[in-house]
């Protein structure tokens, strides 16, 4: 295909007309947004654990149920966003560009590492159990947070690979 | 024996006077993917390797070869 423009080449190869900048912007936005939501999740889980302690000595209110449920819903939302964020409002080409095969591979690695990290965290809590007083509700929240945080942070870290533009210094 | 995948993407890109972004657009992936393939971080799928070879007017064997560390 010597002499063909990149766009002509893309048409011949049957790939979508692209993306480029919008896809990279979407990837960068995703790398910023996902860790920011982790802070929200950490705060919600802290509130939920406090609530779980309070309802053991006081009558349960509707707001307590909401506080206990919120971190679960945010975790689910974050994991859902891990697969699609923040491309909900982007066009199809940009979404495809931001979810190419490198990103799919990064997701696969991040999910694997997240699982292993969570198992190790549970193991550490099982070992610490006889020596430190751990309530079951706190264990569930720690495990949930470790799972979501390790998946997202691993993914963000993996997505940094290749971010530098090797052609930038070329004339 | 550990085998690595060596590639000549940069050379072929230079011959066509293409940047990583140009090649990324031609084969329908992000520039990051091209960068990681070039730097040996990511091993592309067969489909992507074939697309890159077609875009750069080369064969997959021209672009990629196994390096078993023997220097040959």
Residues sharing a CB contact under 8 Å with residue A32, sequence separation 6 or more, in sequence order: none
Q: Six-digit token pair at A154?
A: 């691993």
**Joined tokens for residue A94:** 């940009």
Contact A20, B25 (CB under 8 A): yes
Return the SS3 of B7. strand
Are A1 and B55 within 8 A, CB to CB?
A: yes
Fill in the DSSP letter of residue A103: H
Q: Which of A11, A13, A92 to mutate to test the interface with B (most CBs of B within 10 A)?
A: A13
* pLDDT of the residue at B30: 85
Average pLDDT over residues A25-53: 81
Across chain A, mean pLDDT equals 78
Contact: A13, B27; criterion CB under 8 Å: yes
| Alpha-carbon separation of residue A139 from A106, A124, A125, A145, B25 (angstroms) | 28, 11, 8, 10, 47
**A42-46, A53-57, A96-100, A105-109 — which one is most confidently predicted on average?**
A105-109
Give the residue numbers in A contacting B (CB under 8 Å), as ranges.
1-2, 6-7, 9-10, 12-13, 15-16, 18-20, 23-24, 27, 96-98, 100-103, 105, 159, 161-167, 170
Distance (Å, whole) CA A52 – CA A46: 10
Out of A1, A7, A24, whose CB is closest to B30? A24
pLDDT of residue A22: 74
State the pTM of this model.
0.77
Please check whether residue A52 is in contact with residue A68, taking contact to mean a CB–CB distance below 8 angstroms: yes
Contact B21 A20 (CB under 8 A): yes
Q: Can you tell me the distance from the alpha carbon of A146 to that of A5, in angstroms, rounded to the nearest whole number? A: 47
Question: Among the ranges A1-5, A47-51, A115-119, A161-165, which has the highest mean pLDDT value?
Answer: A115-119
Is some CB atom of chain A closer than 8 A to the CB atom of B45? yes
* Separation in Å, CA of A147 to nearest CA in chain B: 25
In chain B, which stretches have pLDDT less than 50? 72
Q: How far is A144 from chain B (nearest CA, A)?
A: 30
Length of chain B: 72
Residue of B nearest to A22 (CA): B30
Nearest CA in chain B to A163: B32
Residue A35 has φ and ψ, to the nearest 5°, of: -65, -30
């Amino acid at each position: 295909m010597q002499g063909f423009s990149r766009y002509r080449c893309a048409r011949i190869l049957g790939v979508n007309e692209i993306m480029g900048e919008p896809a990279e912007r979407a990837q960068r936005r995703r790398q910023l947004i996902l860790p920011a939501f982790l802070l929200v999740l950490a705060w919600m889980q802290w509130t939920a654990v406090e609530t779980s302690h309070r309802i053991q000595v006081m009558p349960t209110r509707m707001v307590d149920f909401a506080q206990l449920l919120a971190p679960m819903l945010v975790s689910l939302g974050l994991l859902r966003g891990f697969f699609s964020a923040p491309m909900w409002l982007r066009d199809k080409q940009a979404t495809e560009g931001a979810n190419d095969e490198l990103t799919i591979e990064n997701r696969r690695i991040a999910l694997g590492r997240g699982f292993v990290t969570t198992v190790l965290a549970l193991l550490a809590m099982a070992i610490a159990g006889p020596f430190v007083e751990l309530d079951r509700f706190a264990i569930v929240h720690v495990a949930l947070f470790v799972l979501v945080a390790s998946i997202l942070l691993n993914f963000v870290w993996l997505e940094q690979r290749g971010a530098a533009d090797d052609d930038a210094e070329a004339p | 024996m550990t085998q690595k995948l060596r590639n000549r993407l940069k050379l072929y890109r230079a011959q066509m006077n293409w940047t990583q972004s140009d090649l990324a657009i031609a084969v329908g992936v992000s520039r990051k993917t091209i960068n990681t393939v070039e730097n040996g971080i990511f091993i592309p799928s067969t489909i992507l390797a074939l697309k890159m070879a077609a875009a750069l007017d080369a064969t997959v064997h021209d672009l990629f070869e196994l390096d078993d560390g023997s220097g040959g």
